[in-house]
Structure 1
Amino acid sequence: MQSFLPIAYFQNQFVPFGEAKISIATHALHYGTGALGGLRGIPHPQDSQQILLFRLDRHCQRLSNSARFLHYDLPADKIQSVIVEFVKRNQPTASFYIRPFVYTSGLGIAPRLHSIEKDLFVYGLELQDYLSAEGVSCRISSWYRQEDRSMPLRGKISAAYITSALAKTEAAESGFDEAILLNSQGKVSEASGMNIFIVRNERLITPGFDQDILEGITRDSVIKIASDLGIETIERPVDRTELLIADEVFLCGTAAKIVPVKTLENYQLSRQNTVTRKLQEKLIAITEGREPKYQDWVYSIAIS
């Protein structure tokens, strides 16, 4: 059973989580006219009076950008101030996940973005590993990733996640942990809620933004970390067959962090994962505040 943090932010105030309720007539519930964010936090391993949030500024900016697709002017610094106060009020004692959500909060029935109220809510829950850090099994989904010309994929628009849900359930009911989606050109795009990388000849290869992927913050972090480790990253189209001959394959995202892919359908993939493990270890060290070089990626909040 999920353990939710006790305080939520709802309708411009902090309230007990159980009191944060929307109407069944809420516009976003019917039309998917919302945009979500998600970021991780942990109590500082050496200081219980400090909470560490990973790349808070980037997460707030991306949600602000997503809100613009909904015709909602919500500055990133406003989102950040709400999240900081949210953490102070909840004082979490274990690894947790924060879900900020912007949405059309009015009760109208016409599918539109003009002349309707918008709002922001924030809640959180305790969260350890979303997927096994030791690795996952994947299948190629029969569902295809949407195209940017039909949906703003650079925003985390809630309506887009129907495809993720279909793909994830298809994978689970087929006996796999996760799904990998192709785009409309038949190239590898991403997993149900994560970006994907392969390793070939000690270089990272990942689909670029022209492959209808989400502009992942963990993806961006992996590329920067790899560069600092002397590992080149190439952004280009990836064929599904290339996954089968790669030296390593891994997924990355805020909830999942970095997770190696062990099997793809009926194919066993490499179990060495030398590069993947190196990136995993570095990312964990950064999020725990043990890497001074990346201190600007970790936002520290003092709690009493």
Structure 2
Amino acid sequence: MHNFLPIAYFENQFIEFENAKISVATHALHYGTAAFGGLRGIPDSQNPNQILLFRLDRHCKRLSQSAKFLNYEIPADKIQQIIVDFVKKNRPTVSFYIRPLVYSSGLGIAPRLHNIEKDFLVYGLEMGDYLSPGGISCRISSWYRQEDRSFPLRGKITAAYITSALAKTEAVESGFDEAILMNSQGKVCEATGMNIFIVRNGQLITPGYDQDILEGITRDSILTIARDMGIPVVERPVDKSELFIADEVFLSGTAAKITPVKRIERFELSPERPITDRLKEKLTAIVENKDPDYKEWVYIIPLD
């Protein structure tokens, strides 16, 4: 069961979540003509009258860019203001997740992006750990990540997530926690909703944007933090066999944060994860607004 926040933004107004409903004929429901964002918020442990959002500006910019693929113009600053108002109206008291969505709201039957209404909504739910923070098991999926030449992978388009859903269910039903997808070139791409990192010989390695990955905001944050900490960073293609012999492997994302991987297929990974642990500790401090060097990444919403 999900504990949804009581107020949603729907059809240009704030209403009770239970009343935010769409028609069964909604275009986005049938054709995946929608794009979403996702960001975490937490009450400030140092000031109970404040809510902290991590990299709000980047999330709003990415969603605004994703909307362009749907022939929809919605400025990032408009998205940001609605999200801030949404948080103020809900006044959450525990860690939570915000889901903004742009979508084709018209009731047309043709698969198109022109001459059809678009809209924007926001809802949220309470959220703790998305995956086990102690480590998870992964399998290599039989499903492959889409290619940018046939799908706009620089956007978080809802239709793309059928591949993630297929891979996730395949993994769980075969005894694993999560799936790792390869790209069409047979290189490591990402997990079902997370980017992937490996550590080999003291280097932090992750697939680059040319590997058909999602441009993850948490991924970008980790790369910046690692470089600032003096950890060598390499963005390059990663072979499947490297996963099995890596010193460390972890997944990253808004929901997953930094989640270590303890087993891939039949290969057990070391329980010692010094670089993963350092990065996780640093990222946690930043998100909680306890690191003065990254205060610009934390948006503070006063509730008074």
- Give the TM-score of the pair, scaled to structure 2: 1.00
Instruction: Provide the C-alpha distance between the structure 2 equivalents of 1:231 and 1:189, rounded to a whole number of angstroms.
Output: 22
What is the CA deviation profile of residues 153-176 of structure 1, one whole-angstrom value per residue up to 9, with x for unaligned ones? 010000000000000000000010
> 1:48 maps to what in 2?
48
Please tell me whether residue 226 in structure 1 is matched to residue 226 in structure 2. yes
> 2:133 maps to what in 1?
133
> 2:96 maps to what in 1?
96
Amino acid at match of 1:57: D
Amino acid at match of 1:256: A
Tell me the CA shift for residue 93 of structure 1: 0.1
Tell me the CA shift for residue 240 of structure 1: 0.4
Tell me the CA shift for residue 18 of structure 1: 0.2
Tell me the CA shift for residue 137 of structure 1: 0.2
Please tell me whether residue 65 in structure 1 is matched to residue 65 in structure 2. yes
Tell me the CA shift for residue 46 of structure 1: 1.2
Q: Percent identity?
A: 72
Structure 2 SS opposite 1:176: coil
What runs of 5+ residues in structure 1 fail to find an aligned partner? Answer: none
Instruction: Provide the C-alpha distance between the structure 2 equivalents of 1:68 and 1:231, rounded to a whole number of angstroms.
Output: 36
Deviates more, 1:150-159 or 1:265-274: 265-274
Amino acid at match of 2:112: R
Tell me the CA shift for residue 202 of structure 1: 1.1
Amino acid at match of 1:46: Q
Structure 1 SS opposite 2:48: strand
> 2:105 maps to what in 1?
105
Instruction: Provide the C-alpha distance between the structure 1 equivalents of 2:275 and 2:95, rounded to a whole number of angstroms.
Output: 25
Instruction: Provide the C-alpha distance between the structure 2 equivalents of 1:33 and 1:270, rounded to a whole number of angstroms.
Output: 42
Amino acid at match of 2:245: I
Tell me the CA shift for residue 203 of structure 1: 1.0
Instruction: Provide the C-alpha distance between the structure 2 equivalents of 1:201 and 1:83, rounded to a whole number of angstroms.
Output: 42
What is the CA deviation profile of residues 51-75 of structure 1, one whole-angstrom value per residue up to 9, with x for unaligned ones? 0000000000000000000010000
What is the CA deviation profile of residues 8-53 of structure 1, one whole-angstrom value per residue up to 9, with x for unaligned ones? 0000000000000000000000000000100000000111100000
Amino acid at match of 1:294: Y
Instruction: Provide the C-alpha distance between the structure 2 equivalents of 1:273 and 1:136, rounded to a whole number of angstroms.
Output: 13
> 1:175 maps to what in 2?
175
Structure 2 SS opposite 1:48: coil
Tell me the CA shift for residue 245 of structure 1: 1.0
Tell me the CA shift for residue 271 of structure 1: 1.1
Instruction: Provide the C-alpha distance between the structure 1 equivalents of 2:57 and 2:182, rounded to a whole number of angstroms.
Output: 30
> 1:29 maps to what in 2?
29
Structure 1 SS opposite 2:102: strand
Instruction: Provide the C-alpha distance between the structure 1 equivalents of 2:45 and 2:227, rounded to a whole number of angstroms.
Output: 27
Tell me the CA shift for residue 4 of structure 1: 0.3
Please tell me whether residue 282 in structure 1 is matched to residue 295 in structure 2. no
> 1:303 maps to what in 2?
303
Instruction: Provide the C-alpha distance between the structure 1 equivalents of 2:232 and 2:23, rounded to a whole number of angstroms.
Output: 50
> 2:242 maps to what in 1?
242
Instruction: Provide the C-alpha distance between the structure 2 equivalents of 1:38 and 1:57, rounded to a whole number of angstroms.
Output: 12
Instruction: Provide the C-alpha distance between the structure 2 equivalents of 1:232 and 1:216, rounded to a whole number of angstroms.
Output: 19
Instruction: Provide the C-alpha distance between the structure 2 equivalents of 1:20 and 1:37, rounded to a whole number of angstroms.
Output: 18
Amino acid at match of 1:68: K
Structure 1 SS opposite 2:15: strand
Taking only aligned residues, the RMSD between alpha carbons, in angstroms, comes to 0.4
Tell me the CA shift for residue 232 of structure 1: 1.5
> 1:261 maps to what in 2?
261
Instruction: Provide the C-alpha distance between the structure 1 equivalents of 2:67 and 2:108, rounded to a whole number of angstroms.
Output: 19
Structure 2 SS opposite 1:171: helix
Instruction: Provide the C-alpha distance between the structure 2 equivalents of 1:233 and 1:74, rounded to a whole number of angstroms.
Output: 35
> 2:158 maps to what in 1?
158
Instruction: Provide the C-alpha distance between the structure 2 equivalents of 1:202 and 1:42, rounded to a whole number of angstroms.
Output: 32
Amino acid at match of 1:292: P
Please tell me whether residue 211 in structure 1 is matched to residue 202 in structure 2. no
Instruction: Provide the C-alpha distance between the structure 1 equivalents of 2:132 and 2:280, rounded to a whole number of angstroms.
Output: 12
Stretches (4+) displaced over 6 A: none
Amino acid at match of 1:285: A
> 1:195 maps to what in 2?
195
Amino acid at match of 1:248: E
Amino acid at match of 1:81: Q
Structure 2 SS opposite 1:261: strand
Instruction: Provide the C-alpha distance between the structure 2 equivalents of 1:70 and 1:232, rounded to a whole number of angstroms.
Output: 38
What runs of 5+ residues in structure 2 fail to find an aligned partner? Answer: none
